[in-house]
A and B are shown apart, each in its own frame.
Chain A
Amino acid sequence: MTSSTVDSARPAAADRRRPARPPSGRRNGDPVAGYLFLSPWIVGMLLLTVGPMAASLYLSFTDYNLFTTPGWVGLDNYRRLFDDDRWLQSVRVTAGYVLLAVPLKLAAALAVAMLLNQRRRGQGFYRAAFYGPSLIGASVSVAIVWKALFSDDAVVDRLLSSVGLDSGGWVGNPDFSLLMLVLLAAWQFGAPMVIFLAGLKQVPAELYEAAEVDGAGRARRFWSVTLPMISPVLFFNLLLETINSFQIFTSAYVIGGRNGSPAGSTLFYTVYLYDRGFTDFRMGYASAMAWMLLLGVGLVTAMLFRTARGWVHYSGDDR
């Protein structure tokens, strides 16, 4: 068997190899290498993240108004949250949004990625085209256009009426405005789609061939080969889409404004947080909101990691 390092054909690479080392004991690990590789990350954490995170935690126990020295108020901010109707509303709106948008977006992303994973002509074009909505991003121009498309007597309204469905309006209807934003999120499935594609590319062709030889049909191949092999990226997408959806801001802010028009139906968590922190100068309160969000999403994340052990399969793991 020839050396299995991929670029053994390049002699220059051999020169860069370190002098032969005894294989490091698996049990002891290799802290030097570990921390060396992590050093940029550690520096970044200390400088840019840990400090500000700690600061925001501290501020959540104060009445910080951005301009004057913060004064300690203990758990007051947190207590007031539970009396705050608008906060509760924002939690409801955000949770509803996440429950609808994430599955929809992931399903669309996986479906289209599988569609594009075949060797067809014009692959590159199709990939770019389906990625188009994500390229244009969650920008102001898109939000404006999206709002226009869902207005009364506009495209969506007319399409639905032609099949006899009437939502009673979208943009101006508090019962459907959230759905409009869910669709906007799902429409931008390009990012998870690209990640699914990358994951699909890593599935060795031999596995499919072997399954086919064994007589497995399309569906069987999907469940037994594809899904397990892409479970790492599926988990990644699930986790990150969930985390990101909890923090939706720009499109919500452009469409619903600081009040979550209409009638608070688009009052997302971060929109309310921003409103309180920056426009109301209640940064202490907003920081408390932020840490509550961290707790909530952290719980969801922990749960996801837990269940992951059941269904995520890493082909290269030494666990």
Chain B
Amino acid sequence: MTPASRAAGAATRRRRLGSVGWHLAAVALLAVILYPVVWVVSASFKPSGSIVGSLELFPQDPTLGNYQRAAEGMAGISVLRFFWNSAVLAVLAVVGTVASSALAGYAFARLRFRGRTVLFVLMISTLLLPFHVLIVPQYAVFQKLGLVDTYVPLLAGKFLAAEAFFVFLMVQFMRGIPHELDESARIDGAGPWGIFWHVVLPLSRPAMVTTAIFTFIWTWNDFLAPLIYLSTPDKYPLPLALQLYIDQTTLSDYGALMAMSMLALLPVIGFFLFFQRLLVDGVATSGLKG
């Protein structure tokens, strides 16, 4: 063996040890962090009465009853219907939010026009007011338009960049894209739309993916807006159905609540796993070369 290959061998061994160490540390950290999640999972297999007040992690007498009850749906509405409603809302919300936030973000980040700062401040200020005081006036607007008990009030804001969180996210990412690329595109004859479509948007992929992921999850878990606007039970998304398990005036079914929460988690995990792959490096760095 040459000295070079011996050194290379040693380096590989060091790297592998470092790798093992890293994995060990990560798993240990995960164990602590995921403990409560494991608890929720295990609670979904515990009989309903023994969940609140129980101290042990694993169920004494595990049961599938919670899942059976959760799968039954309620009031004659199949649980699949709730999943479908949630899916429709979430997917539409993602499309609307990504599109409209990108447009608005580009305007704030790249374009110069009179009143930009004022409007930007206005946008940020929409984050500052607690939603509970906006509910009633907003409801009144949709009531006058005859749009209650539809999905329109739930989705209108998404398509109109009403989520300042994502507009601001886009702004921050877009401001990190070097202007040289814009200049080159402009020299090649591109106008604002061209720069947007060919330069800024492709490089904002991490921001768009992040927006998509968050929008999906938050819409999936959104409880308040569907509660206020939807009356017909077969339009209910999952969170509305879920809360029926914890009615305090009758018998609360914590077991079914946990089981249903678990089931509701699966599409979210799927969506996340699929989209977070797009966060992989490669595009971002290559685009900034040359």
A–B contact via C-beta, under 8 angstroms? yes
A:214-248 near B, CB below 8 Å: 232-233, 235-236, 239-240, 243, 247
User: A191 to chain B: which residues have CB within 8 Å?
Assistant: 214
A148 CA / B38 CA spacing, docked (Å): 13
Interface residues of A in 140-170 (CB under 8 A from B): 140-142, 144-146, 148-149, 151, 153-155
Binds A, one of B75-83, B84-92, B108-116: B108-116
Interface residues of A in 35-70 (CB under 8 A from B): 35, 37-38, 40-41, 43-45, 47-49, 51-53, 55-56, 59, 66
Give the contacts of B215-273 with A (CB-CB under 8 A). Answer: 217, 221, 223, 239, 242-243, 246, 254, 257-258, 261, 265, 268-269, 272-273
Q: Known contacts A136-B261, A149-B36; is A4 also within 8 Å of B168 by CB?
A: no
The answer to whether B221 and A137 have CB atoms under 8 Å apart is: yes
Contact residue among B106, B184, B191 (Cβ-Cβ distance under 8 Å from A4):
B184
B:81-130 near A, CB below 8 Å: 100, 103-104, 106-108, 111-114, 116, 119, 122-130
Mark interface residues in A102-139 (1 if CB within 8 Å of B CB, else 0).
00000000001001001011111011111111111101
Q: 0/1 per residue, A293-319, Cβ < 8 Å to B?
A: 110011001000000000000111110
A-B contact pairs, 10 of them (CB 8 A): A6-B198, A7-B198, A30-B111, A38-B119, A48-B138, A49-B126, A52-B141, A59-B133, A144-B254, A187-B33
Q: Is the CB of B113 within 8 A of A124?
A: no
A31 nearest CB across to chain B (Å): 4
**Interface pair B193/A18, CB less than 8 Å apart:** yes
Docked pose: A155 CA to B35 CA in angstroms: 10
Q: Please, which residue of chain B has its CB at the minimum distance from the CB of A127? A: B276
**A51 CB, nearest partner CB in chain B, Å:** 6
- Mark A residues whose CB is within 8 Å of B: 1-7, 13, 16-21, 23-24, 26, 29-31, 33-35, 37-38, 40-41, 43-45, 47-49, 51-53, 55-56, 59, 66, 112, 115, 118, 120-124, 126-137, 139-142, 144-146, 148-149, 151, 153-155, 187, 191, 194-195, 197-199, 201-202, 204-206, 232-233, 235-236, 239-240, 243, 247, 249-250, 269-270, 273-274, 277-278, 283, 286-287, 290-291, 293-294, 297-298, 301, 314-318
